[in-house]
Amino acid sequence: MNPQAFRAKLKEKLRLNRLAFEGQYKEALNELMGLSRADIGKITPDGAGLETYDRLITLVKEASQHNVSQAELKENIEELGEVAVDIAKLVPRLGL
């Protein structure tokens, strides 16, 4: 990838991130991203939950960018599995 294409791609990613942090779930996203490794470790002590945690952050960012309904967000979190649901329960604003 040439430098110009890289900068264009980066600029678009930054724009989308800004939308996520200004969207409907901005406060929930901030709380979710504020969870520590210790918080996640209480749910999955072997560290296996970190990948699910990353997926959950991505899901909430996308939901925030696209103004997804609370019911649809909940359904999508449940599709990620029990670990994702348990992590989401640490963030009351996610409504699980």
- Per domain, the residue ranges of the chain are 3-94
CB 62: neighbour CB atoms within 10 A?
A: 16
Could you give the angle at the alpha carbon of 55 between the alpha carbons of 91 and 37, nearest 5°? 60
H or E, element range at 1:
none
Question: In angstroms, rounded to a whole number, what is the distance separating the alpha carbons of residues 26 and 39?
Answer: 20
CB 31 within 8 A of CB 91: yes
25-43 confidence digits (pLDDT tens): 889 999 999 999 899 988 9
Tell which wins on pLDDT, 74 or 11: 74
42-73 confidence digits (pLDDT tens): 898 787 789 999 999 999 999 998 889 999 99
CA distances from 28 to 16, 63, 86 (A): 17, 11, 15
Q: Looking at residue 21, what is its pLDDT?
A: 67
Longest dimension (CA), the chain: 44
Q: Looking at residue 11, what is its pLDDT?
A: 87
Q: Looking at residue 95, what is its pLDDT?
A: 83
